[in-house]
Amino acid sequence: MPPQLLMVGLGNLPHPNIRHSIGHVIIDVLAARFGIHRSINRSVGGFKGCSDVLSFSDDIVSLTLFKPKLLMNIAGPSVASALHNTVKLPASMVIIHNSLDHKVKVLSVKLEGSANGHNGVQSVIDALGANADFYCFHIGIGRDHAVDPANYVLPDMPLDRLLHWSGIGLDRVCHELGRIASRNRTI
């Protein structure tokens, strides 16, 4: 049986073209790259799709992509439901979210149980419990210190500026997924 991964993109579904929704954007790009059709799944409260993909490290991986319908900061219960209905183990889940603390286009990967001030990640931790360590892909969106963070992450942006992950950045995301899948093969 191939290793299973659940990738969750945090964002705000009603506002797809904002920095705050970069997690949703990456899930959409990965779905297009791997041909994964997603549909609304009411039992988990979001858009979910799964497929075995020839991946990252030339292995087959059962990849589930999930975008919660709930706003990012209250998405935890939907994410917990998706986890329990798919891969079961938190270490087989990757949360993709925006990070003001990283430069634009920087990807930081951590296995952690700390939200580091991110309300969406905190919502997931609250829903799963403090001891549930899962992977976080912090996607750098930069920060303009002269502007209130909400005024920086919430305005609409041209989609092409959000899709800067379609090249090398997306390849790095896929490479890191391959490393996680290889680790999970031994679990």
Query: Which strands make up the sheet holding 93-99, listed edge to edge?
Result: 39-41, 46-54, 60-68, 4-9, 93-99, 134-140, 107-112
Question: Which residue's entry shows tokens 């659940």?
Answer: 6
Length of the chain as a residue count: 187
User: What's phi and psi for 185, nearest 5 deg?
Assistant: -65, -30
Contacts of 52 (CB under 8 A, 6+ apart): 2, 60, 61, 62, 63
pLDDT more than 90, % of the chain? 49
Give me the catalytic one of 15, 20, 138, 175. Answer: 20
In tens, the pLDDT along 90-137 reads: 999 999 999 988 888 788 899 876 788 899 999 999 999 878 899 999
In tens, the pLDDT along 131-168 reads: 889 999 998 888 888 889 888 888 887 766 666 655 55
Whole-structure pTM value: 0.91
Rounded distance between C-alpha atoms, residue 17 and residue 178, angstroms: 28
Rounded distance between C-alpha atoms, residue 9 and residue 66, angstroms: 6
The CATH number of 4-185, from 2.30.29.30, 3.40.50.1100, 3.40.1830.10, 3.40.50.1470, is: 3.40.50.1470
- Is 20 a catalytic site residue? yes
**Segments making up each domain of the chain, as ranges:** 4-185
